[in-house]
Chain A
Amino acid sequence: MARVRSLETRDRLLGYGMVAPAVVVLLLITAFPLFYNLWNSFHHVDLLDPTTLGSGAGLGNYVQVFTGATFVPSLARTAAFTVVSVAIELAVGLAMAVVLNRPFPGRGVVRAAIFVPWAVPTVVSAMMWKTMFDPRQGFVDYVLGALHLPGGGTTWLAGTWTAWTAVFVADAWKNVPFMTILLLAGLQVLPRELYESSRIDGASPWQAFTRITLPLLKPALMVALVFRTLQAFLVFDVVYIMTGGGPGSSTETVSFLNWRAFLVDSDFGYGGAVSVVMVVIALLIAGVYVRFVRPEAVG
């Protein structure tokens, strides 16, 4: 083959060669598990039941997901967790972002200080808060008791609602800074002139906030909400570390249920079906947000 290739073709071939390793790695770590899991979800892959291993299950696993006793309640719990935790983080994060957007002495240090929790890995922060809520080792009960507030002497992780409270605190402590960073970045690019003219027109600070800040902040708000909603929906580590899904199964989320199906029950068919349903729900959530955000981003 003595044909002389054009420079462009040679470049392109070299290019494919250079992209190939990354593509192969990505296929191995994302596409392969995705399709393998999809295959599993339509088959009997219960490792504890070798007789049916690998035989087709049709939609059996999915029927089990929606008619079984565990998935629907844990989906409801996860939805509630997602709504409450994202609402808390949005409210506190927005307040922090607005306050930190004002100039005041020491602002740089304060910004750095409140972003520290975000840099801590979730497993570490969950472990840490588990200790903090421990009636003997932690400070929560001690501080509440010393201030004569209700809740001192509570064994937080032993009751359903107190365990959820502990999980919410740990989750918010780590994720409020993330919300704050994104919203602060959004606030910093808002044009000052709008506030100036709104003042000249006699707008109150509250009106300026609802009529100028919130509408202009919408793209940043949407990005922050998409990230946090999906992360909250897939929450696993905080629950796994702090409560182990307990007491009973009262803090089991869908990710926790999925983990249990895979690694405790060794049922990769049922677990696969749970995963697929979770992916579909996550895609739906993302799709809804994208529909909301798109017109704003263009305009």
Chain B
Amino acid sequence: MSATTKPVRAPEFARPRRSRSTGHIARRVGCYVLVAAFVVVSLFPFYWILATSLKTPDEISAGTTGLWPSRLSIASYVTDLHSNFLQSLANSAIIAISTTALTVVLASLAGYALARLGVRGRGGI
């Protein structure tokens, strides 16, 4: 990773003297390329999910032939809504709300007691 060495010289005082040197420009370009590569690698799978979700079922089963859907279709979304999606959403909401409520109640009780009421053994926390 030769790139790790480049960025270290700290920003403010990098500017005055050598700002126009080719080494500096090359370093800058190198950093931008690195950043761009990171962003693409991080986000491309999400694009792929979106693109696949908009393909027709036939195109999905035919396999990958390009980087975007040949024809946009919301068929997969319709199928999703007609299956158990709403039920799953409700289940997730039930779990999220109940565990959050339980945790907040138990933790705030214990937190207040540990901080204010001089419970023995709180040094361990």
Is the CB–CB distance between B38 and A136 below 8 Å? no
Is the CB–CB distance between B110 and A208 below 8 Å? no
Interface string of B99-125 (1 = CB under 8 A from A): 000000011011011101111100000
Q: Which of chain A's residues has its CB closest to B60's CB?
A: A137
Interface string of A41-56 (1 = CB under 8 A from B): 0000000000000000
Instruction: Given the known inter-chain contacts A103-B11, A114-B42, please indicate yes or no for A14 contacting B113, CB distance below 8 A.
Output: yes
Is the CB–CB distance between A16 and B1 below 8 Å? no
Is the CB–CB distance between B109 and A139 below 8 Å? no
Interface-centre pick from B45, B66, B67, B107 (highest chain A CB count, 10 A): B45
Q: Which residues of A contact B52 (CB under 8 A)?
A: 131, 137
Q: Which residues of B contact A189 (CB under 8 A)?
A: none
Measured in the bound complex, the distance between the Cα atoms of B11 and A96 in whole Å is 16
Interface string of A160-203 (1 = CB under 8 A from B): 00000000000001000100000000000000100110010000
Is the CB–CB distance between A21 and B110 below 8 Å? yes
Is the CB–CB distance between A98 and B7 below 8 Å? yes
Interface SS of chain A: helix
Would you call B90 an interface residue if the criterion is a C-beta within 8 Å of the partner chain's C-beta atoms?
no
Which residue of B3, B42, B109 contacts A117 across the interface (Cβ within 8 Å)?
B42
Q: Which of chain A's residues has its CB closest to B64's CB?
A: A142
Known A-B contacts: A113-B39, A208-B9. Give 14 more (CB < 8 A): A14-B113, A17-B113, A18-B113, A19-B110, A21-B109, A98-B8, A99-B31, A101-B7, A110-B35, A113-B42, A116-B42, A139-B67, A142-B67, A213-B8
Show 10 A/B contacts (Cβ-Cβ < 8 Å), sorted by A. Answer: A15-B116, A18-B117, A21-B106, A99-B7, A110-B35, A117-B42, A138-B48, A139-B64, A142-B66, A209-B8
**A-binding residues in B (CB < 8 A):** 1, 3-13, 31-32, 34-35, 38-39, 41-46, 48-49, 52, 60, 63-67, 106-107, 109-110, 112-114, 116-120
